[in-house]
Amino acid sequence: MRANPFISPLDDLIVGFDKALRVVGGVASASRANPAANTVDCELDEREQRHSAGLMRVNHVGEVCAQALYDSQARHAQSPGMRAQFEQAGREEEDHLAWTAQRLSELGSQPSVLNPLWYAGAYAMGTIAAKLGDARSLGFVVETERQVEAHLNSHLETLPAGDAKSRAIVEQMRQDEIAHGDAAQSLGAAEMPVPVKLAMRAMSKVMTTTAYYL
């Protein structure tokens, strides 16, 4: 189901393709101020800088996937209310995309070269979840956000002690992800079957391990 009934299928396809190109191309704008804007940067040694960059690249990939997931789930949502919920969450996640991209640049690094692959895979997963119905789609969001929160908690533990800028960004992202998961739960999310949760964790492990380096 398309978000706007007055947009033709071809126009809708073009809009979606344009968004995908902007996301994988690193074009994102934040509607909120960067939480690290007023944080004093510190000098990191080469090892610390490389580690921070690896973690922020993982987080950036996660936000590329979030854009794909929320866009696909919004497009295939079964009710206008669900569509609006996914679109709002996607806009908030775009802040994260912009913040992590900026931090990567400050660390002298770059986004994952595999972003087109991550985006395509996440879009396909979001579409499948949406086709199973709004309750399953919301359940997919809840489980995804739980796993993202766990990743962000681990990043807060392993980021260099002096990297206050990255830490400020990750902490705000963590709070937002918790809120997104809670919102999806309150809207009637269905619990994901255990095999699906395990499969999601396995795919997440592949993504995070690869994105740290590439």
Q: Is the pLDDT of residue 150 over 70?
A: yes
Task: Give residue 65's domain range.
Answer: 40-213
Q: Is the pLDDT of residue 45 over 80?
A: yes
List Cα–Cα distances, 105 to 76, 94, 135, 172, 177, in angstroms: 34, 17, 38, 19, 23
**φ and ψ at 39, to 5 degrees?**
-90, 135
- Residue 151 in marked binding region: no
Let me know if residue 67 belongs to a domain: yes
User: In the structure, what pLDDT confidence band is assigned to residue 81 with cuts at 50, 70 and 90?
Assistant: confident
Let me know if residue 2 belongs to a domain: no
- Residue 63 in marked binding region: yes
- Residue 149 in marked binding region: no
- Determine the pLDDT at residue 10: 56
- Residue 93 in marked binding region: yes
Q: What is the mean pLDDT of the chain?
A: 89
pLDDT tens digits for range 105-121: 999 999 999 999 999 99
Q: What is the CATH number of the domain that holds 120?
A: 1.20.1260.10
Let me know if residue 28 belongs to a domain: no
- Residue 43 in marked binding region: no
pLDDT more than 90, % of the chain: 71
- Residue 92 in marked binding region: no
Q: Compare 28 and 47 and report the one with higher pLDDT.
A: 47
Let me know if residue 50 belongs to a domain: yes
Let me know if residue 22 belongs to a domain: no
User: CA geometry: angle at 54 spanning 29 and 169, to 5°?
Assistant: 45
Residue type, 172: Q
Structure tokens at 205: 């492990």
Q: Is the pLDDT of residue 12 over 70?
A: no
| Number of independent structural domains in the chain | 1
Closest C-alpha among 25, 2, 23 to residue 12: 2
47: helix, coil or strand?
A: helix
- Determine the pLDDT at residue 24: 74
Let me know if residue 15 belongs to a domain: no
Let me know if residue 195 belongs to a domain: yes
Residue showing tokens 């669900």: 82
Let me know if residue 34 belongs to a domain: no
